[in-house]
Structure 1
Amino acid sequence: METRMEERKRGKSEEIDDDQEKWVYDSSVDHKGGIPRRASTGVWRASLFIIAIEFSERLSYFGIATNLITYLTKVIHQDLKTAAKNVNYWSGVTTMMPLMGGFLADSYWGRFSTVLVSSFIYFLGLSLKTMSELIPSLKPCKTEACSNPAKLHVVVFFLSIYLISIGTGGHKPSLESFGADQFDDDHSEERRKKMSYFNWWNSALCGGLMLGVTLIVYVQDNVSWGTADIILTVVMALTIVIFYIGRPFYRYRVPKGSPLTPMLQVFVAALSKRNHPYPSNPAQLYEIPKSEKNQGRLLCHTDKLRFLDKAAILEDGDQSNKPVDKQQSPWRLATVTKVEEMKLVVNMIPIWLTCLTFGMGVAQASTFFIKQGSSMNRKIGHGFEIPPASIYTVAAIGMITSVTIYDKILVPVLRRVTGNERGIKILQRIGIGMVFSVVSMVAAALVERKRLQVVRKEIVEEGRIGGISMSVFWLTPQFIIIGIGDGFTLVGLQEYFYDQVPDSMRSLGIAFYLGVIGVGNFLSSLLITAVDHLTEKWGRSWFAKDLNSSRLDNFFWLLAAMNAVNLCVYVFIARRYSYKNVQRRVAAADCYDGDGTV
């Protein structure tokens, strides 16, 4: 009798396993709205279509952003101060728009639709920018040279780049999260592939960046701005078509309204029951019955932020086996999963704040590092001169190299050593990158001190006119180091803000990651203003009108010290962090945290 029962149970278990291998039960749907087939949807077969359009977007963005100040000063003839302000305004808008795009994708439009709409807006911006260079009535000048460009050109040009900002706002947070959605977190093989996905996503990003700051910038400087815009517009059009062709292979998440409302409901419910005693057993807290195929992932209870647990306390007359909407308002009673999702967001705040100093360091690579290079010897071979913006490719090479070595060599070794599915924890990866950020600032300070010594010798003492003889390749160490740091921290932040937010907020999570870089840029500007004011008050500003009269080395030392102190604070917070605790499908009591640990 026992043998037959065991065989029956084994047969049922195998039937469930076969069913889960055939279908994907992670709340996603296929393009027809049904349950996706595992064999024909998702994973790399879908992600490659998505990575292609990301390559195109980064090619366009960096092709425009890195040379924007050159266009404003040389073509539109703005003075340097006005041009710098316009670049900062555009960068600020472009940085903040993903918050709106991520919210719309998670709440109402869905990620696929948001990417498609924002891609068309992006394409419209590129097309308008191209027309402003090619159509005679929209050109900046009707003659070969003029000091005052046509006002119509200026209006059309700014309209085009702000359309690109809007397109970026929907594109960036939705596309990366949509790509990660193609991997099932509850399937061990797909979960491991997702960990590699973020690494190769950033390799594609760096590939677009490298071509943007080399090929596109070269065409802009040596052929024409219109030709460069034609290339960007055509590439974007082709990748939109490629992205749409992949439609049958994608897995889609159906938006379920604002993800912010449930968090507010948890807070209100906890506040209304603030005087209730905690239950003696967390199992007494309210949770919906687990349905293997129809419900999204449920989270296990954690002991932190216990005040919020009161939102899930069952009051007299409540019955835990009935859905919330049939017995009480969600403003009065929340599930354990909703409470834990609120805890996830609260726990992210200190991590986000301690990453801002790293964002300030990253901001130097596209500003002062390039400014250093513009004053150095950039000639190669028979008179060919590297464009200043192209120096940024060294950081991209460092990032691609570190990501490849990490994914192909370090992770397999670390998995065997630590027993962790990821190799090391997400926050450990972020912390390693922060160490490289400190080292890159130290390297930048040392190179700048050497550059100032050469300036003093060749320009001040010898009276040399023009640039200095010191090669631009002296900047290679700081760019390589910051690129390696980006391979750890930036990729880790993308994975962290996708994986550790509630499942319904993943596009917003990517927007929070982008906010680290955006706010880091704003804080860098504020720090420069404060340091300029204080050092000028003390006798001599570190930021003179001429780079050779400035003291950027001191500013880099300051950033190195700030990053070192911030790293200590980050380590203190990260060691006490609790990862997302997800229920496995096999049993409600079987939990694993979002770091891959059972």
Structure 2
Amino acid sequence: MKYSKIRSKLTRWFQYYFVFSKAALLISALVFSHSLVEHAVVDVLMSYITDTWKNVHLNVAAVAVNTYEVTSTIAVVLLAHASDAYFGHFKMILITTKTYILGLVLLWITGTKIWLLVVALVLISVGTAGKEPPLKEFLVDQLRRHEQSLDGNNEIRVQARTEVWWRFWWCLGSITATFAFSAVDWPNTFKVVIVVMFVAYWLFRFGEGLPYCQSPTSEENQTGKQEASASPLSLAYRVLKAAIMKRHLHYPDASKFFKNDSGELILLPNIPFFRWLDKAAIVDPSSLSPEEQEKQGKLCSVAQVKEIKYLLKMVPMWATFLVYGLVEATGSTFFVEQTSNLRSPITDSFVDIVIAFNAMKSLTSFIVPYLYELLIQRRWSDGRQKQGGLLVRIGVGMVSSVLCCCAAWLVEVRRLSMVEIEGVDSDVEIRMSILWLVPQFLLS
């Protein structure tokens, strides 16, 4: 009886989180290849640059890696806009994957040509930006097709299946990178990852004939052409443009707002600095009808204005993630260089140890959100309690960033003292285990 209950729970758990989808399997090949490339190459770019260009100063290498990360972050926003507004997820995935492969090829043949390295890093940054949101949103589209209806419970199940499916193949790629590249030099590493991504690209390309969902935010006008209005960036542009064009108008009563179903006189959130955005929803008393004004981009609905106001309200909170960004930048540069003269108890090659550390980070990022959802989020059914739980999760992440910096500081103090005691250069191996770096990699 006890085993039957356990088996029943496992069956229900499996049916909740997993569903067979041919399109999702094709997407999984790309997820696996992205994970393999990121752990085998991208996460250890600092090591590649310092190994290939012996005369390059560490500061220059760090600037190159951080510039790549900034470019990748900016590309994520731009590609998400282009995917939602113009290309759709499928075409954007094809474009970014080809760009990724080209960047890897250039990085492989750079030799000592700095300009080729710069071009390769730009192309790779565009390729990595194609991972999220286009690829992940496309996976959501495929899993959503298996639901008969899209009520709240089904949508939650779709998101849960997406996370499990995504993180399973991502962790599989990171584990493969850890064991497959333990004693492989850089040229052979590039050959393997390029072949894997090329094969994954063509597997995904074979799915072009399968029925798939376009971007859920895309809209079509009367001519059948996709409109860009549904993209968040396009919507923000339209609201700002309409508000500036109507800056001379006075605030009317609630009936003059376009599609003001709630009858609000002051559109929420009530932030004085953003009150001028409300004018984007004012119907201009001209000869044009409200529908024609909306078609020409001169009028926005109340819901659109409120959406942009809520979005701008989050800007101060986004600024707090600057500290988190500094920790991320440190993890991809300083943490990697710390391993250069530490003794490895596992292997003589330190590159695979760094890959193992990054794989450990991926596994942690998979386990922690799941435990949070299982132990905390599900126990809070009230919406306000769930919002408070999300803030707790963000706070715990920030505290972990502080602890990560403290751990890295203490380890570096010990490392430098060992270098001084042994009287060797900073790049000569010392009697200090590389496992001292485990806490800071886990906390990052």
TM-score (norm 2): 0.73
Mapped partners of 2:103, 2:287: distance in 1: 55
Matched, 1:263 2:236: yes
Matched, 1:230 2:197: no
Q: 1:441 to 1:57 in 2, by over 3 A?
A: same
Mapped partners of 2:159, 2:385: distance in 1: 10
**Among 135, 140, 150, the residue aligned to 1:175:** 135
SS in structure 1 of the partner of residue 376 of structure 2: helix
Matched, 1:242 2:203: yes
* Deviation (angstroms), 1:385: 2.0
Matched with 1:110 is 88
Map residues 44-59 of structure 1 onto 2, 5 A cutoff.
Answer: 45=21, 46-59=23-36
Mapped partners of 1:74, 1:395: distance in 2: 19
Matched with 1:359 is 325
Mapped partners of 2:97, 2:316: distance in 1: 33
The answer to whether the 8 Å contact 1:100/1:169 transfers is no
Mapped partners of 1:116, 1:216: distance in 2: 27
Number of aligned residues:
397
Mapped partners of 1:274, 1:217: distance in 2: 67
Mapped partners of 1:445, 1:169: distance in 2: 31
Map residues 18-57 of structure 1 onto 2, 5 A cutoff.
Answer: 45=21, 46-57=23-34
SS in structure 2 of the partner of residue 360 of structure 1: helix
Matched with 2:415 is 451
The answer to whether the 8 Å contact 2:408/2:437 transfers is yes
Unpaired segments ≥5 residues, structure 1: 1-41, 134-139, 141-148, 290-300, 483-598
What letter matches 1:105 in structure 2? S
**Among 311, 321, 325, the residue aligned to 1:345:** 311
Mapped partners of 1:85, 1:412: distance in 2: 40
Q: 1:200 to 1:430 in 2, by over 3 A?
A: farther
Q: 1:432 to 1:95 in 2, by over 3 A?
A: same
Q: 1:351 to 1:194 in 2, by over 3 A?
A: farther
Deviates more, 1:347-356 or 1:76-85: 76-85
Mapped partners of 1:370, 1:438: distance in 2: 19
What letter matches 1:219 in structure 2? V
The answer to whether the 8 Å contact 1:395/1:481 transfers is no
SS in structure 2 of the partner of residue 218 of structure 1: coil
* Deviation (angstroms), 1:336: 1.7
Q: 1:51 to 1:438 in 2, by over 3 A?
A: farther
Mapped partners of 1:445, 1:125: distance in 2: 35
Map residues 558-569 of structure 1 onto 2, 5 A cutoff.
Answer: none
Mapped partners of 1:312, 1:392: distance in 2: 52
The answer to whether the 8 Å contact 1:56/1:239 transfers is yes
**Among 135, 158, 181, the residue aligned to 1:216:** 181
The answer to whether the 8 Å contact 1:411/1:422 transfers is no
The answer to whether the 8 Å contact 2:50/2:56 transfers is yes
* Deviation (angstroms), 1:388: 4.7
Cα deviation code 1:167-224 (max 9, x no counterpart): 334454422333334465942233213442346534544543454466336312xxxx
**Among 456, 469, 472, the residue aligned to 2:431:** 469
* Deviation (angstroms), 1:113: 0.3
SS in structure 2 of the partner of residue 325 of structure 1: helix
Mapped partners of 2:373, 2:293: distance in 1: 48
Cα deviation code 1:505-539 (max 9, x no counterpart): xxxxxxxxxxxxxxxxxxxxxxxxxxxxxxxxxxx
**Among 155, 167, 175, the residue aligned to 1:191:** 155
Map residues 91-490 of structure 1 onto 2, 5 A cutoff.
Answer: 91-127=69-105, 132=109, 160=120, 162-182=122-142, 186-196=150-160, 197-198=162-163, 201-202=166-167, 204-212=169-177, 215-216=180-181, 218-220=183-185, 225-247=186-208, 248-253=210-215, 254=218, 255-257=226-228, 259=231, 260-271=233-244, 272=246, 276-277=250-251, 279=253, 285-287=257-259, 302-305=268-271, 306-314=275-283, 324-326=290-292, 331-380=297-346, 384-388=347-351, 390-391=353-354, 393-401=356-364, 403-404=366-367, 406-407=369-370, 409-420=371-382, 424-425=386-387, 426-456=390-420, 458-460=421-423, 466-482=428-444
Cα deviation code 1:358-417 (max 9, x no counterpart): 11112222222222232322133xxx324156335335424424533542x442443542
Q: 1:385 to 1:332 in 2, by over 3 A?
A: same
Mapped partners of 1:123, 1:68: distance in 2: 16
Q: 1:233 to 1:420 in 2, by over 3 A?
A: farther
Report which of the two structures shows the higher radius of gyration computed on alpha carbons: 1
SS in structure 2 of the partner of residue 366 of structure 1: helix
Unpaired segments ≥5 residues, structure 2: 1-17, 219-225, 262-266
SS in structure 1 of the partner of residue 253 of structure 2: coil
* Deviation (angstroms), 1:467: 2.9
Mapped partners of 1:265, 1:256: distance in 2: 12
